[in-house]
A and B are shown apart, each in its own frame.
Chain A
């Protein structure tokens, strides 16, 4: 198997790994770097569990090839909390019962973060669209929508 070098930043830290050519970013993050916050649910780009932010855009690590991400800035849920302080989205999900089994949660958080980074005061419709590619099978999407809206409100209060 041909190994190719890949270099990117992950949650602000520089990473360099050799990966098998043609392997996915999901595999690179989990098996090479050990970031297990990224989950593989369908490997078809359908469930959203593997969602990460690449250069500011939400993408699916299960269908992105690692080599195509060289030089990119990648964000995952493992980097959301800073200095032990939860991100407002994490707090809102925790307090708002927006997670049950938790498997979709990291992907949901990334989809929500990609939204709030771009649009700090989203409407409910914006939130529904933002998580439109992320499937939750336990809790239901309503508490998740409410948690994202409440994190946005908390953010705007903090900013004021």
Chain B
């Protein structure tokens, strides 16, 4: 079957088309799906896209941001209201990829890709899909199952304070390389003591995951080398890192605690 593109005016119409045709894929920025077709993936023959303007909207209201799924990574970087997540957005690809890749696509990107998704997971974001809000962690766990043939509409989260989001993408190639491990952390502190923590990893599983043992151990501890020591011993709890051309699972496990420690103390 030759490839074709079907264009729909609304996300719901595109969702219906995706649901009706098992050999279809949603086309966002093209950085994942056109790449697959170019490499000879024959599992689909129809691209489905939606031109719904709502998908491209950015709204910021009372500290709460909602990004339409078609918002590009480049637009996040350019939007002053989103400055506190810009660093995470900048870690994605080069300028051309950032001008094409979308927020929605990043949430579907398989490891080692999907760096922004790691930040959004640490921000405890919610996504709008299949008619309802879904916690990002639940979406990620089922993104190639239940949510594979639906149009993700938007992602919402509370904007972090300046410097609140700690973000680190470790690459072997500087300045632009594929992730060895990506870490995002959002700490609440009172008088130097961590009152609560949310920590997310990329490449430490087939999808971005939360480091729950680390989060629990950090609560109530001073943000010092001594204070985070026990948390670092649990850094790899619950992880099953990927092995790819960039690094082995073993290597990722070895370097993760070091980078996590640096990020928490920075």
Residues of A within 8 A of B (CB): 1-2, 4, 20-24, 43-45, 48, 51, 57-60, 62-65, 67-68, 111, 114-115, 128-134
Q: Distance in Å from the Cβ of B113 to the closest Cβ of chain A?
A: 11
Q: Distance in Å from the Cβ of A40 to the closest Cβ of chain B?
A: 9
Instruction: Tell me if A45 and B31 are in contact (CB < 8 A).
Output: yes
Given A21-B3, A22-B2, residue A59 in contact with residue B35 (CB < 8 A)? no
Dominant secondary structure at the B interface? mixed
Task: Assign chain B's interface to a size class.
Answer: 20 to 34
Is residue B96 within 8 Å, beta carbon to beta carbon, of the partner chain? yes
> CA of A144 to CA of B54 in the docked complex: distance in angstroms?
40
Given A63-B30, A68-B49, residue A22 in contact with residue B4 (CB < 8 A)? yes
On chain A, the residues within 8 Å of B93 by CB distance are 45, 132-133
Is residue B94 within 8 Å, beta carbon to beta carbon, of the partner chain? yes
Given contacts A2-B4, A51-B96, A65-B5, 4 further A-B contacts (CB under 8 A): A22-B4, A43-B39, A128-B175, A133-B93
On chain B, the residues within 8 Å of A67 by CB distance are 5, 7
Interchain residue pairs with CB less than 8 A apart (17): A1-B2, A20-B2, A22-B3, A22-B4, A23-B3, A24-B34, A43-B38, A48-B94, A57-B74, A58-B99, A62-B38, A129-B95, A129-B175, A130-B95, A132-B95, A133-B95, A133-B176
Instruction: Tell me if B100 and A21 are in contact (CB < 8 A).
Output: no
Q: Distance in Å from the Cβ of B246 to the closest Cβ of chain A?
A: 13
Given A45-B35, A128-B175, residue A60 in contact with residue B3 (CB < 8 A)? no
B 12-55 to A, binary, CB cutoff 8 A, 1 in contact else 0: 00000000000000010011001101110000001101000000
Contact of B94 among A4, A24, A131 (CB under 8 A): A131
Contact of B39 among A44, A51, A58, A68 (CB under 8 A): A44
